[in-house]
Amino acid sequence: MKRKFIQSVILALIFNSLFLINNCMSQWMQVGNEMGINRYINSLTSNSSYIFASTDDSGVYRSTNNGTNWIHTSLNNKATSSLIVSGNNIFAGTGSTGSYVVYFSTDNGNTWNQTNLNKGVACFAILGSSIFAGTEYDGVYISTINGTSWTQTALNNRSIYSLLAIGNSLFAGTDIGVYLSHNNGTNWTQTTLNNVPVLSLSTIGNNIFAGTYYSNNGFYLSTNSGINWTAVPTFQTILSFEVSGTNLFAGNFSAGVYLSTDNGTSWLNKNQGFPSSITINKLLIANNYIFAASQGKSIWRRSYSDIIGIKNISTEIPEKYSLTQNYPNPFNPETKINYELRVTNYVKLQVYDVVGNEVATLVNEKQSPGTYQVEFDAGSLTSGVYFYRLTSGDFTDTRRMMLIK
């Protein structure tokens, strides 16, 4: 009897531990006590070994274990506004009024070197072999020699809040809208989005997104390379975007993080675990996590699979690959899709309409063997027949589903 009681207690403790682990994975968790839980984080970036975070008053930190722990780099006593990784180099825009300096490191932050760019830099971008820096009041600067020396481009009298490189084009989000250059900043043209500060830019396919400042329509969309823009009623201020596949994340002023799977037409609240009214300056997807840099509440982390609705419901290795019929089917507007993986491999689960247009990417990541469940919200789609296709290694399977509204 005593032995059975002890076994029951052990099983209960194991169950509770698993429940707590699963619960922690299904919401945002604050990480990085080493930098203080009330730190103002401006930017995040990563390379193959580290995640880097810039702070408002104490330079740059780095983490080797996905944000669980952080250590100071040698750039440790300056306000740091922006970061970017370019090859083996990390660039940091630092300083306050009258003492701006851009630094770079070739050894993951162990040492830093000063460049000749002494402007306040809000953002960086890489286009081919060139690095661009968006400055406060003085426009865009370019370096063609790996950031050791910088020159001013023709866009030289605007405050630059965001930069986006697509193909041979460079977009600049300024204090009065979006500018565009097709020749590395030699010439710039102002687009029709020309009357609002643009704090963030991103892209999925042929769609370009602009997040604006205190606008009744905080989100703008262009489907023709930035020539025309359409206002989409949404949040007032979008400070950052992050994209993976067809998943578009927005970090907002006092509104946390939202996810769109339909190019910004509709948004899902993804604030589970956050304190109320949190402001997110920067988002980063790395190593199967999504990280959020906040104003005054340091860094937060969440499982990427969890935030987009992927659940590993069994780690038992199945006998074969399989893709099951969604349920319920027909559905309105939510349904679930299960699939099984035999080996570790890169997995894609995509949804198509009847003419073959991709309307959603539900999974786009490397996964271990097991059984998975994905939740699909088709609230932004019209009634009709859709197809979902699973691809992993040599395995491909497609099934049909019906949306009825």
Q: Render each residue's pLDDT in the chain as its tens digit; 405 residues.
A: 444 444 443 434 433 443 344 444 579 999 988 999 999 999 999 999 999 999 999 999 999 999 999 999 999 999 999 999 999 999 999 987 668 999 999 999 999 999 999 999 999 999 999 999 999 999 999 999 888 899 999 999 999 999 999 999 999 999 999 999 999 999 999 999 998 999 999 999 899 999 998 777 789 999 999 999 999 888 889 999 999 988 999 999 999 999 998 899 888 899 999 999 999 999 999 998 999 999 999 999 999 988 998 988 999 999 999 999 999 999 999 999 999 999 999 999 999 999 999 988 899 888 999 999 999 989 888 999 999 999 999 999 999 999 999
Return the structure tokens found at 202: 């991103």
**HSE on the CB side for 361, CA within 13 Å?**
16
Give yes or no for a contact between 164 and 155, defined as CB atoms under 8 angstroms apart. Answer: no
C-alpha to C-alpha distances, 242 to 106, 176, 272, 282, 287, nearest whole angstrom: 26, 23, 18, 8, 14
* Residue 332, beta-bridge partner list: none
Query: Residue 25: its pLDDT value, please?
Result: 53
Measured distance CA(335)–CA(326) in Å, rounded: 6
Give yes or no for a contact between 152 and 188, defined as CB atoms under 8 angstroms apart. Answer: no
Query: Residue 98: its pLDDT value, please?
Result: 65
Pick from 86, 178, 169, 100: which is nearest to 131 by CA? 86
Domains and CATH numbers, the chain: 29-304 (2.130.10.10), 310-403 (2.60.40.1930)
Pick from 64, 151, 50: which is nearest to 105 by CA? 50
Query: Residue 13: its pLDDT value, please?
Result: 40
Query: Residue 287: its pLDDT value, please?
Result: 92
**DSSP per residue, 18-51:** HHHHHHHHTS-EEE-GGG-TT--EEEEEE-SS-E
pTM for the structure as a whole: 0.85
Q: Which helix (H) or strand (E) holds 17?
A: helix 2-25
